[in-house]
Amino acid sequence: MTTKFYDALQMDPAVLKRKIAACDTRQEKNYYWIAMAVRSVLIVAFAIVFISLLSGVFGSDNTPLAVALFCMMLGIRFVNFEYCIGDSLVTLAVVLAILVLVPSAAMVLPPLFLIPLHFTAFFAMLYMTTQRPEMGNGGLYSFAYVYLTGNPVLGEALVRRALMALVGYLICGAILFAKHRHHHKTTRFHHVMRKFDLSTPVHLWQLRMALGVSLVLTAGQVFGVERFMWMGFACASLLSEYPCSGNAVVRFRQRIVGAVAGCCAFFVLHLVTPEALHPLMGPLGGLCLGFCTDYRYKTAMNCFGALMLGTGIYGLQGAVILRIADTFLGVTFGLVFAALFHQLAAVRLLPDPEVE
């Protein structure tokens, strides 16, 4: 039985591709391919309108928060925090406060305080939002944290960022209430806190993510790495795999291959297309991302938006080289950190899934 078109638009590309593979007729396959294409176009169009509107009201220096809010808004429709709606609305406010205040604090604090600041803030955010890492919440909120850490603001711009966060809270809170108010009614956040145990895979994963990301962000800031948030994205992506193990070589290779392929594709397209079309390369990457299910292809398409912005700062060649270099630094750090962390903790607390 063919899924309703509206329902097909809500599906992940991986689900749609499985349905395509199961179809018996060309007509059915085309139906789901069209749904995937329309879904991708609608998401990119809505992203452009939503982000442009918020940036227009609260300033272009706060565009990173608009991007983060858009991603949160999409994710929160399908994934809740695994506890009652009242406590979820409170923790959503705390998460947004972390995203607004911590990057600015990290900008002015001495290096000595950066690791504890990032670790405490990032671990708290993961603990509040990600009880089931397999649902993707960890990747979403880690992206938001790293992106905003790489784009801090102070003064009047920080006030505008706080006001944007308030608007975002009203929107995301309304969606959270509408979609999840009947879920986990008897579970309170303090029940979740009482269950904390490093012998469980999810809490070990949260600890590893928080420690690894806090270390790589601190290193990037202290050593003045250009566009260090790209290094943070790469490391966080490698460490976000769940359940965690010490063997991150496969994801390491996939991230490198994807980044190099994406940078090369962007470089060639930027050279062969008219200058008037260059601003469309970011949305083009977003459209293509809507068809991707493989991690390497997702990594490649994510390069387009990043490089579109980076080219305006560093030039085409400089942005491409910097993206590849930062990616290599981030995944190399993540690879070494994962191996060391696994040796120190996971061997005793979490069996290697490959062994099982």
Q: Is the pLDDT of residue 51 over 70?
A: yes
Q: What is the pLDDT of residues 65-74, one digit of tens each?
A: 999 999 999 9
Identify the pLDDT of residue 354: 47
Arithmetic mean of pLDDT, 177-194: 95
**pTM across the whole model:** 0.92
Residue 48: pLDDT band (50, 70, 90) is very high
Arithmetic mean of pLDDT, 193-222: 93
Q: Which of 3-7, 86-90, 205-209, 263-267 has the lowest mean pLDDT?
A: 3-7
Identify the pLDDT of residue 11: 87
Percent of the chain surpassing pLDDT 90: 80
Q: Is the pLDDT of residue 353 over 70?
A: no
Q: What is the 3-state secondary structure (H, E, C) of the chain?
A: CCCCHHHHHCCCHHHHHHHHHHCCCHHHHHHHHHHHHHHHHHHHHHHHHHHHHHHHHHCHHHHHHHHHHHHHHHHHCCCCCCCCHHHHHHHHHHHHHHHHHHHHHHHHCCHHHHHHHHHHHHHHHHHHHCCCHHHCHHHHHHHHHHHHHCCCCCCHHHHHHHHHHHHHHHHHHHHHHHHHCCCCCCCCHHHHHHCCCCCCHHHHHHHHHHHHHHHHHHHHHHCCCCCHHHHHHHHHHHHCCCCCCCCCHHHHHHHHHHHHHHHHHHHHHHHHCCHHHHHHHHHHHHHHHCCCCCHHHHHHHHHHHHHHHHHHHHCHHHHHHHHHHHHHHHHHHHHHHHHHHHHHHHHHHCCCCCCC
Residue 1: pLDDT band (50, 70, 90) is low
Q: Is the pLDDT of residue 159 over 80?
A: yes
Arithmetic mean of pLDDT, 47-64: 96
Which residues, at least 6 apart from 301, have a Cβ–Cβ distance to it below 8 Å?
262, 285, 286, 288, 289, 292
Residue 349: pLDDT band (50, 70, 90) is low
The Cα–Cα gap between 23 and 162 comes to: 48
What does the mean pLDDT of the chain come to? 92
Identify the pLDDT of residue 356: 40
- The most distant pair of C-alpha atoms in the chain lies apart, rounded to whole Å, by 63
Identify the pLDDT of residue 156: 97
Residue 347: pLDDT band (50, 70, 90) is low
Q: Is the pLDDT of residue 23 over 60?
A: yes
Percent of the chain surpassing pLDDT 70: 96
Arithmetic mean of pLDDT, 322-350: 86
Q: Is the pLDDT of residue 198 over 90?
A: no
Find, among 87, 355, 105, 327, the residue nearest to 230 by Cα.
Answer: 327
Arithmetic mean of pLDDT, 4-27: 88
Q: What is the pLDDT of residues 86-129, one digit of tens each?
A: 999 999 999 999 999 999 999 999 999 999 999 999 999 999 99
Q: What is the pLDDT of residues 279-321, one digit of tens each?
A: 999 999 999 998 998 999 999 999 999 999 999 999 999 999 9
Identify the pLDDT of residue 263: 97
